Amino acid sequence: MKKTLTCIECPVGCQVTVETEDGKILSVTGNACPRGKVYAENEVVCPRRIVTTTARAEDGKMIPVKTNRAVKKDEIFAVMERIKKLSIRLPVEVGDVVYKEIAEGCDLVATRAFDKEKR
């Protein structure tokens, strides 16, 4: 079976074709760099995405957050449910872990500094 993808690892946007048989990758073609090959293999076997959103602080402020690693695509809704229930304690700095292990091997981190007085 062949599947053609547009690589999103860099601005080139190569059209990468992955050929599989019985769930195993036979070949990857069309990539201009090694990152494209890895992206295509992962996208066919187990697609992953960085989750970027906002989470509520204890005082009601919305804090921008993201996962520090890509999350399995089929786990994104569960991650979003955990984020929805989150109440972040201020202050936070960029990179602070606000939820340890929100998904397997992945933490949720603040992407902007907030203290109790800032809005």
Is residue 119 a part of any domain in this protein? no
Query: Containing domain of residue 57, as a range?
Result: 52-110
Quick one: pLDDT at residue 116? 72
Q: What's the domain count of the chain?
A: 2
Give mean pLDDT in consecutive 10-residue pieces for the chain, a chain of 119 residues.
93 95 93 93 92 96 96 97 96 97 97 78
This prediction has a pTM of 0.80
CA distances from 37 to 20, 23, 114 (A): 14, 17, 39
Given a contact cutoff of 8 angstroms between Cβ atoms, the answer to whether 110 and 57 are in contact is no
Q: What is the CATH number of the domain that holds 62?
A: 3.10.530
Given a contact cutoff of 8 angstroms between Cβ atoms, the answer to whether 98 and 83 are in contact is no
- Number of alpha carbons in the 13 Å side-chain half-sphere of residue 71: 20
Q: Do residues 37 and 56 share a domain?
A: no
